[in-house]
Chain A
Amino acid sequence: MATTPKLTSPVPVVAPAVDASGAIAVADVEVALESLSQWQLAWRRFKRHKMALMGLGIFGVMVGIAILGPILIPYNPLDIPGSPIPGGTGPAANHFFGTDNNGRDVFTMVLNGARISVAIGFFSMSIAGLTGVIIGAVSGFAGGIVDNLLMRLVDVLFAIPFLFVILVAARFFGQGSVVALILIFGLLSWPLIARLVRASFLSLREADFVEAARAVGVSNVRITFRHILPNALGPVIVAMTLLMASNIVLEAFVSYLGFGISEDQTSWGNALSNAQTALIFGNWWWAFFPGMAIALTVLSINFIGDGLRDALDPRARL
């Protein structure tokens, strides 16, 4: 098993004579020579997690559908063919997922709805993540009165009935707008992230390597972004994936209640919003397939989150 050692380490290492002296010696040499970055190590740990890899695959397909959706759809989503049929028609060769009671293709709705649902999940997660990291970092680093005020704000956002604010705010910021929903979800869901970041900052602030950095005269900004933040990021990324999943579900529910995006746009929530009345006609496909799309996406994101939890844990061994 004579492998040529990869010389990626900047430190010059005297290459040992590779002979058939034994596997242990070869392995030792490899460890000494191959230096992996934090992210490469994380990716190695992530790859071992089978469910996480599967989740990544499914999620990739969903993102692909979200991007290519309007090209893939077999029918025009706004086209209403013929006269309404109560309950719609069931799955068939020309309509894989059946039709709704206006004869619209449910398969088209699901493909077309991916874009808005995934976009709302992704962008609200980004807003929440950014806000949460900034506020958590400021709170944890500054301490004192700033910390106290920001944490009271977090308390307020935690205790306020979430759905109430969403329903009222959806009306307030213009009903039916995707951007409004993204802003509302993003600006309401950052407190969890802020608490996580603050907690890690409080403990890392006292860590030896931070003290060492301070002793050499590194500026506060650099300590925050270069030394503390990368170490605090693991749990935050995991929390953000979970947030994305829950915001996709939330969008579906808000649209289902009729407070979400407007009727002429398709999201998964909108696709099944009128399905309840059709259920009594035995029309299960109208509600079933958009819901399955949501469940599958959320499941894959949660598996990714689970894989990341292990992968980003610096104490976990390779």
Chain B
Amino acid sequence: MTKYILRRVIQAIPVIFVISLVSFWLMIQAPGGPEAVFNQNPHITHEQVLAWLKRWCLEQNPDVFGVVREYLGWVGIWNCDAGSLFAAGGLPNFFPTFLGGGTNGIIHGDFGLSIFYSQPVSDLILSRLPATLILMSTATVIWISIAILAGVTAAVRRYSLYDNAVTFTSYVLYALPTFWLGLMLIFAFGVTLRIFPPQGIIDARSSPAPWGTNAYWAALVANPIPNLLDIGRHLVLPVITLVAVSVAGDSRFVRSAMLDSLNQDYVRTAKAKGLPSSRVIFRHAFRNALLPILTNITLEIAAIFSGAIVTETVFSWPGMGLLFYEGVNNRDYFLLMGLVLIGSVLVVVANLVADVLYAVADPRIRYD
């Protein structure tokens, strides 16, 4: 098993390397760079633009080698202050810092600065993490519970009116475009009925301080109930949006896993022994149906990172998905690279975790 995990990790490194290289190349080559904001400004000379780009370790209209230099600068192999592969001390730049290597680049733990915000990318991402975690954990818990409940009950009463109703509902929900469902919910409950706030994470007028500031966290700790209620009210619509779309696919999946399991010999044996049907369903059938469900959920939790872009953009939810959308609009190269790196590492890790979990939970499966 250890050998298997090790091999998978070694395989994953070139995959992540290629992803980051391709993303970087596409982004740099796309027309219009971050320096475009200066185009309309007559007071800024060409030299100033070049100097500004140099500060970000970027070049204007780079050739292939230029893009590679920029990329290696982001990775930490290229020392762009000196313009060489060597750090100030004369040792290769990719050496760890305490051995005399450079300090820039992700291999030294430095995600770089956001071009638009002029803040460290890692700080920006960390500041957006709480909102995403709140939204995702709430949505995930609700959606998994509903999917399992609906899928299992539908499978137990196969082809009944209830089963058909669940199937039909899940098909309809599955067909709704996420962002459109969000818009319609905003219109119905946020604008017309005014029950739930249509956008944002807190009410800007009544909150003690802007979201994410230290003052806000202090106020949250000092006065938790009204502030948490405020967040809860804002959570309702985005959570419904996320849950509706995810439940649709997953309840179908749970249903078919459960049906497979109910058709197994050991379930028939359990029934033949005269066990009560609740015990047969939960102890014998459901525990075995859980295996494929577990794998699916692991993969989805990683994928939700990109799915949240849709929901967070529609609801102006100040999480990582919205940060990503802003980054694309602002051509914020290093912020985007940081987010792409985290996103792809998450997917690769989730794939590995899903496979390992599967083998741990099911003793019939062995990797060697």
Contact = CB atoms under 8 A, between A and B. Distances in A.
| Dominant SS among interface residues on chain B | helix
Contact of A299 (B30, B175, B180, B344): B175
A298 B181 CA distance: 14
A158 B61 CA distance: 30
B324 A302 contact: no
A280 B180 contact: no
B61 to A, nearest CB: 15
Contacts of B32: 171
B183 A302 contact: no
B191 interface: yes
Contacts of B52: none
B282 interface: no
Top-3 shortest CB links A-B? A299-B175, A291-B180, A298-B175
Interface residues of B, number: 46
B251 to A, nearest CB: 14
B302 to A, nearest CB: 9
A27 B161 CA distance: 34
B15 A169 contact: no
Contact of B30 (A168, A288, A291): A168
Interface stretch (B125-133, B201-209, B306-314): B306-314
Interface of B: 11, 14-16, 18-19, 22-23, 26-27, 29-32, 171-172, 174-180, 183-184, 186-187, 191-192, 305-306, 309-310, 313-314, 324-325, 328, 336, 339-340, 343-344, 347-348, 351
A159 B174 contact: no
Interface residues of A, number: 42
Given A171-B32, A295-B176, A253 B310 contact: yes
Contacts, number: 118
A52 to B, nearest CB: 11
Contacts of B314: 276
A165 interface: yes
Given A164-B23, A276-B183, A279-B186, A156 B15 contact: yes
B263 to A, nearest CB: 14
Max chain A Cβ within 10 angstroms of own Cβ: one of B16, B175, B176, B191: B175
Nearest to B348: A159
Contacts of A296: 175
Contacts of A280: 191
A193 to B, nearest CB: 18
A6 interface: no
B347 A279 contact: no
A281 to B, nearest CB: 9
Contacts of A259: 328
A268 B184 CA distance: 15
B344 A172 contact: no
Interface string A152-196: 100110111111110111011000000000000000000000000
A128 interface: no
B15 A152 contact: yes
Contacts of B175: 245, 295-296, 298-299, 302
Interface in A130-171: 152, 155-156, 158-165, 167-169, 171
A213 interface: no
B112 to A, nearest CB: 17
B347 A158 contact: yes
A303 B22 contact: no
B344 A291 contact: no
A78 interface: no
Contacts of B174: 298, 302
